[in-house]
Amino acid sequence: MTFKNGLENVVFYGGRLQQQKHIDLPEDWTDFVNMSTITISLTPIGSHQELVVRGIQGNRITIQSKSVIPIDCYYHVFAERNDVES
């Protein structure tokens, strides 16, 4: 585990996902960030939804829910930048 002090070389992207199962990241993310460092936080809205990240392919993150209700959640995606040394 690595801890960093002071300024970090991290970018984030967030929003709300409603009745969809994909988070589409900005087009330049694959060039701008180290895709292997992506961390995703999901916060269900309204009820427990058993949300999981099914996978990441290119700029698209696929979310899966075991619940029968449509997906409704806030999300935050974090990743380390490529243009700044860690």
Could you report the per-residue pLDDT of 1-31, keeping only the tens digit for each?
444 444 568 889 999 999 999 999 998 888 8
d(C-alpha 12, C-alpha 14), whole Å: 7
- Is 1 a member of any domain? no
Give domain status of residue 4, yes or no.
Answer: no
Over residues 48-73, the pLDDT tens digits come to 999 999 999 989 999 999 888 899 99
CB atoms within 10 A of CB 37: 14
If one counts the domains in the chain, the total is 1
Provide the pLDDT for residue 86.
56
- For residue 3, is it within any domain? no
Q: How many C-beta atoms surround the C-beta of residue 71 within 10 A?
A: 19
Give the pair of three-digit tokens for residue 17: 């996902």
Domain holding 68, by residue range, is 10-80
Domain assignment present for 86: no
Query: DSSP letter string over 7-73?
Result: S--EEEEEEEEES-SEEE--TTHHHHB-GGG-EEEEEESSS---EEEEEEETTEEEEEE-SSSPPEE
- Domain membership flag for residue 85: no
Mean per-residue pLDDT, 76-81: 92
pTM summary value: 0.84
- Judge whether 39 lies within some domain: yes
In a domain, 2, yes or no: no
